[in-house]
């Protein structure tokens, strides 16, 4: 190990990026290329895995060149990826057998419905800690096996490989058809619906239940471990880690202890809390998942709650209602007034998600009076993100008995100070933002750096975390109770809107 | 009465035409409608593109009105500036180890629109929204030096917070002149003794600044004994200010 820097590949939904970090965890370089989104039918969303691999090969040298570095300067590389995006490729040609089915794709609804009616629901829940749902990878793999001609047969022969995107990239970086390493990490594997959450291995009964040949499956590895050495892209550099993107952000925010939590506010929002050394199955519609595993140590678990519509509501306010010219301007508009004028916006655009799970709900704006102006609406739009966060946090606290003492935030919406102040107000805990907004990539880089010995331990990484801003709660307990009760009433109004004709 | 300036008149005609047609126009069509040679019209629309009043579709090469015209007379939104500056302000704090502040002019004072904590883990309070006296801070000097309305300086109440506060119009005028000449401002102990700042303008339109970005900290961490900023500091500030300015040009 000679390098003075660590690289991260952030393979996201819209682009593939390479970021280079120094020993203090500071970003020194960023290169990025977007890839094509394919929507061949309503509800379908696909990526070309070959394009993603080609983009990966472009961003690696570009990121090095931007910082005037050479391959020898890189001590290790880590990967963070869009989760649940599913692909199958031919081990001998290295070519995908079909387009990758992304996490946004809803074509597997029928397969999931069948799983829920079938005899194995309880087994899935017991083993994985999860209730079968459309966002996991296994139903997508089943769909491919059903619909790509000859795939089921070829899968049994061992000619083919299944993986989420990190598997695909690691296999290609380590040589592809010429000796590529076929592995996945525990966080990505925990989103397949096929992994035993305790043993962190594939469960044969679950594979059998979905008739998935074991020959397809990658080996499950810890997040922090040398997976192999790059033969292309960054020749000679060790791949020291891989992570699903939200778990990578939890790791990058250095939430290593039980009770530490982060929320990434983007189009949607993802709140993950470290729950310690035992899985925390949820009675309230949250997802139990692996937080991270370090080679030779017990794995850590997390509970996850997602908010489907956060920044997306601001975009809707801008694009559909044309109330503002750019997303940040919502804060200017909202600050013209001191409260929402008692109006509430519940963005159940595609039903209610965690912790309610009501697909028949639809969005509402309630409490309208002639007093309400667009400034009040702007405030209600921002408050919706805060109240949805509060609902997820309450469910987590009820599930785990762990009280929140603070929340670390990242993502584009953290530049909206009014929204972040509202989150602090409704949670009644301080909300903190770290320096730099690249928690996902930082997490991947940390995994790689730990694996290759670039950083000695988690404490050093913890010391790298730098506070850039804190929002202290400033709302009275009485207002919080009143607002929370009103939000509940507003949520009630969304239920049961969609009816069969 | 002096005659009209032909090129301005022609540019105005081109803008009127582009505003009147429903679709982007190719150069030839524009030249025909204006009854001018293509080369002349090309010069006009290229210039209008440069200043943001006209845009050219990269695929077809056709011309239409740019957002620069609609933006005339509209101030840059402070929260848009915060969203755009955030990435660069974070990088500046990470590299310098100093707190970063971004301010816009509000009347005779500077209002903080963004603030990144000094990255040393010490307890700090978010100061966004606070008003700071423009004559007593490096941020304020930059805002005054590049203000669109020069007379502002004469309205200021020049309170002497410390012995080094520029508290006379002569002293302030000299500091602003120096800032304009060197392209940035530094001030030691203007508001509090032992605290110094260096700031640079975030330019939007020609000659004026929409805001200022600066670093603040203990004087010895910002300035050398000679009073000059530590090596590299000004370059990093100017780079962050420039990068922010270029992201302000494309709207979200």
Distance from CA of B83 to the nearest CA of A (A): 6
Q: How confident is the model at residue B153 (pLDDT cuts 50, 70, 90)?
A: confident
Which of B97, B126, B129, B251 best tests the A interface by mutation, with the highest count of A CBs <10 A?
B126
- Residue B207: pLDDT over 70: no
Handedness of CA A213, A216, A222, A225 (dihedral sign): positive
Q: Is residue B43 part of a domain?
A: yes
Distance of alpha carbon B49 from alpha carbon B27, whole angstroms: 13
Residue B59 and residue B106 in one domain: no
Instruction: Say yes or no: B87 and B193 in one domain.
Output: yes
C-alpha torsion A215→A217→A223→A229, nearest 10? 60
For chain B, what is the domain count?
2
| Res A1: pLDDT | 43
Beta bridge partners, A163, equal A87
pLDDT of residue B71: 65
* Domain boundary pick from B42, B71, B100: B71
- Half-sphere exposure (CA, 13 Å, Cβ side) for A335? 14
- Is the same domain home to B118 and B230? yes
> Is there a single domain that holds both residue B49 and residue B106?
no
Residue B251 pLDDT > 70, yes or no?
no
Helices (H), A265-416: 311-319, 329-334, 374-400
Rounded Cα distance between B111 and B102, Å, is: 8
Q: What is the pLDDT of residue B208?
A: 80
Confirm or reject contact between A85 and chain B (CB < 8 A).
no
A contacts of B86 (beta carbons < 8 Å): 415, 437
Residue B192 CA to residue A267 CA, distance in Å, equals 42
Residues of chain A contacting residue B99, judged by C-beta atoms under 8 Å apart = none
- Listed in sequence order, the residues at least 6 apart from A74 whose beta carbon sits closer than 8 Å to its beta carbon are A3, A5, A6, A7, A20, A64, A234, A237
Looking only at the bridges linking them, the beta strands covering A269-276 and A261-265 are: antiparallel
Dig out the tokens for B145 from the structure.
């030096």
**Nearest in space to A231 (alpha carbons), one of A163, A161, A179, A168:** A179
Question: Can you give the residue ranges of every domain in chain A?
Answer: 5-246, 311-391+477-493
Mean pLDDT score across all residues of chain B = 89
Gap between the Cα atoms of B43 and A439, Å rounded: 47
pLDDT of B155 reads 75
Closest-CA residue in chain B for A319? B252
Q: Does A54 touch chain B (CB under 8 A)?
A: no
Q: Write down the pLDDT at residue B118.
A: 96
Q: Where residue B90 falls among pLDDT bands split at 50, 70, 90?
A: very high
Question: Which of B119, B125, B126 minimises the CB distance to A466?
Answer: B119
Q: Which of A332, A435, A437 comes nearest B79 by C-beta?
A: A332
Q: Give the closest-approach CA distance of A280 to chain B in angstroms.
A: 32
Question: Is residue B13 included in any domain, yes or no?
Answer: yes
Across-strand partners of A352? A358
Contact between residue B187 and residue B175 where contact means Cβ atoms under 8 Å apart: yes
Q: Are A293 and A223 in contact (CB under 8 A)?
A: yes
> Is residue B61 domain-shared with residue B115, that is, in the same domain?
no
Q: Which residues pair with A20 in a beta bridge?
A: A7, A29
Are the beta carbons of A331 and B79 separated by less than 8 Å? yes
Instruction: Judge whether A269 and A411 are in contact, CB under 8 Å.
Output: yes
Q: Does residue B1 lie within any of the structural domains?
A: no
Query: Per-residue pLDDT averaged across B221-234, rounded?
Result: 95
List chain B residues with CB under 8 Å of A468: 90, 93, 116-117, 119
Q: At B58, which CATH number?
A: 1.10.10.10
* pLDDT digits 0-9 by tens, B35-84: 999 999 999 999 988 877 898 988 899 998 887 776 665 678 999 999 99
* Domain co-membership, B151 together with B195: yes
Measured CA distances, A136 to A310, A348, B68, B141, B221 (Å): 22, 21, 46, 56, 52
Q: How many residues does chain B have?
A: 252
CB A80 within 8 A of CB A240: no
Weakly modelled stretches of chain A, pLDDT under 70? 1-2
In a domain, B88, yes or no: yes
Its sign, for the CA torsion A108, A112, A113, A114, is positive
CA–CA separation, A109 vs A111, rounded Å?
6
Q: Are B106 and B209 in a shared domain?
A: yes
- Give the model's confidence band at B252: pLDDT under 50 very low, under 70 low, under 90 confident, else very high: very low
Tell me whether the CATH fold assigned to A5-246 matches the one assigned to A311-391+477-493: yes
Among B25, B48, B71, which residue terminates a domain? B71
Find tokens 């762990």 and name the residue.
A402
Give every CB contact of residue A108 below 8 A, 6+ residues apart in sequence. A101, A134, A139, A140, A142, A143
pLDDT at B1: 55
Q: Tell me, what's the pLDDT at B72?
A: 65
- Any residues with CB less than 8 A from the CB of B124 and at least 6 apart, and which? A467, A470, B99, B117, B118
May I ask the CATH class of domain A311-391+477-493? alpha beta
Residue found by looking up tokens 């974070």 in the block: B90
Check whether residue B95 and residue B208 sit in a common domain. yes
pLDDT over 90 at B104, yes or no = yes
A5-246 folds as Nucleotidyltransferase; domain 5 (3.30.420)
> What is residue A242's predicted lDDT score, i.e. its pLDDT?
94
Last residue of a domain, which of B33, B55, B71?
B71
Facing B82 at nearest CB: one of A325, A415, A471: A415
The CATH number given to whatever domain includes residue B245 is 3.30.450.40
Instruction: Indicate which of A381, A415, A465 best probes the interface with B, i.e. most B CBs within 10 Å of its own CB.
Output: A415
The answer for residues whose C-beta is within 8 angstroms of residue B15's C-beta and 6 or more apart is: B48, B53, B54, B65, B69
Chain center to CA of A191: 10
**Same-domain check for residues B128 and B205:** yes
- Average pLDDT (B190-210) is 88
Q: How far is A468 from chain B (nearest CA, A)?
A: 5
Rounded Cα gap, residues B214 and B138, in angstroms: 7
Contact A332 B86 (CB under 8 A): no
Cβ-based contacts under 8 A for chains A and B:
73
Tell me the pTM: 0.87
24-43 in B: which are within 8 Å (CB) of A? none
Specify whether the CB–CB gap between A56 and A47 falls below 8 A: no
Nearest to A64 by CA among A267, A234, A218: A234
Q: Sort out which chain B residues have CB atoms less than 8 A from A467's CB and list them.
A: 117, 119, 121, 124
Which residues constitute the domain of residue B162? 78-249
Q: Which residues of A touch B236 (CB under 8 A)?
A: none
């Amino acid at each position: 190990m000679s390098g003075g820097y660590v690289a991260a590949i952030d393979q996201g939904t819209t682009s593939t990026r390479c970021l280079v970090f120094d020993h203090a965890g500071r970003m020194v370089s960023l290169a990025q290329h977007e890839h094509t989104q394919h929507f061949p039918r309503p509800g379908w969303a696909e990526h070309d895995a070959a394009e993603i691999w080609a983009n990966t090969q472009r961003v690696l040298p570009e990121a090095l060149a931007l910082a005037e570095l050479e391959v020898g300067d890189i001590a290790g590389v880590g990967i963070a990826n869009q989760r649940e995006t599913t692909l199958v490729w031919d081990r001998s040609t290295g070519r995908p057998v079909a387009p990758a089915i992304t996490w946004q794709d809803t074509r597997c609804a029928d397969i999931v419905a069948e799983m829920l009616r079938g005899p194995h629901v309880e087994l899935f829940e017991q083993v994985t800690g999860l209730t079968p749902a459309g966002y996991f990878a296994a139903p997508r793999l089943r769909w491919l096996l059903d619909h790509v001609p000859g795939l089921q047969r070829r899968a049994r022969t061992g000619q083919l490989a299944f993986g989420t995107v990190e598997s695909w990239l690691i296999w290609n970086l380590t040589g592809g058809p010429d000796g590529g390493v076929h592995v996945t990490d525990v966080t990505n594997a925990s989103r397949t619906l096929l992994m035993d959450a305790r043993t962190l291995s594939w469960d044969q009964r679950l594979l059998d239940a979905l008739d998935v040949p074991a020959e397809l499956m990658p080996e499950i590895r810890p997040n922090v471990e040398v997976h192999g050495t790059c033969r292309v892209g960054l020749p000679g550099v060790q791949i020291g880690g891989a992570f699903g993107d939200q778990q990578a952000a939890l790791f990058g925010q250095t939430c290593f202890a039980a009770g530490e939590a982060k929320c990434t506010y983007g189009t949607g929002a993802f709140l993950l809390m470290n729950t310690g050394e035992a899985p925390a199955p949820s009675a309230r519609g949250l997802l139990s998942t692996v937080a991270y595993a370090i080679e030779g140590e017990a794995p850590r678990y997390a509970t996850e709650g997602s908010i489907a519509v956060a920044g997306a509501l601001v975009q809707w306010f801008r694009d559909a209602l044309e109330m503002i010219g750019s997303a940040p301007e919502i804060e200017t508009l909202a600050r013209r007034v001191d409260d929402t004028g008692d109006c509430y916006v519940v963005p159940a655009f595609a039903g209610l998600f965690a912790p309610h799970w009501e697909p028949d709900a639809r969005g509402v704006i309630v409490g309208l009076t002639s007093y309400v102006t667009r400034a009040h609406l702007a405030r209600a739009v921002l408050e919706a993100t805060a109240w949805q966060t509060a609902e997820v946090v309450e469910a987590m606290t009820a599930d785990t008995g762990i009280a929140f003492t603070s929340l670390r935030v990242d993502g584009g919406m953290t530049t909206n100070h009014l929204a972040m102040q509202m989150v602090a107000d409704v949670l009644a805990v301080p909300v903190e933002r770290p320096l730099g907004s690249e928690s996902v990539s930082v997490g991947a880089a940390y995994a790689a750096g730990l694996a290759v010995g670039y950083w000695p331990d988690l404490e050093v990484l913890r010391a790298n975390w730098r506070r850039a801003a804190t929002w202290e709660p400033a709302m009275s307990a009485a207002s919080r109770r009143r607002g929370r009760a009103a939000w509940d009433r507003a949520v009630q109004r969304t239920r049961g809107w969609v009816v069969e004709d | 009465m002096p005659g009209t300036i032909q090129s301005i008149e022609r540019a105005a005609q081109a803008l009127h035409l582009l505003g009147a047609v429903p679709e982007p126009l190719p150069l030839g069509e524009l030249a025909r409608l204006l009854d001018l040679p293509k080369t002349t019209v090309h010069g006009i629309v290229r210039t209008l593109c440069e200043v943001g009043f006209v845009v050219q579709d990269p695929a077809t090469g056709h011309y239409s009105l740019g957002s620069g015209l609609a933006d005339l007379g509209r101030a840059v939104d402070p929260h848009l500036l915060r969203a755009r500056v955030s990435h660069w302000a974070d990088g500046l704090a990470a590299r310098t180890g100093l707190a970063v502040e971004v301010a816009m002019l509000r009347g005779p004072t500077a209002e903080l629109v963004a603030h990144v904590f000094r990255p040393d883990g010490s307890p700090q309070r978010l100061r966004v929204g606070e008003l700071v006296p423009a004559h007593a801070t490096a941020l304020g000097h930059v805002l005054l030096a590049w203000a669109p309305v020069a007379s502002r300086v004469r309205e200021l109440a020049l309170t002497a917070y410390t012995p080094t506060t520029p508290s006379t119009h002569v002293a302030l005028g000299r500091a602003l002149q120096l800032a304009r000449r060197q392209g940035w401002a530094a001030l030691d102990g203007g508001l509090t003794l032992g605290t110094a700042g260096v700031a640079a303008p975030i330019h939007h339109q020609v000659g004026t600044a929409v805001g200022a970005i600066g670093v603040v900290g203990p004087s010895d961490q910002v300035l050398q004994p000679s009073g000059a900023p530590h090596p590299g500091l000004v370059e990093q500030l100017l780079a962050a200010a420039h990068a922010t300015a270029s992201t302000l040009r494309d709207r979200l």
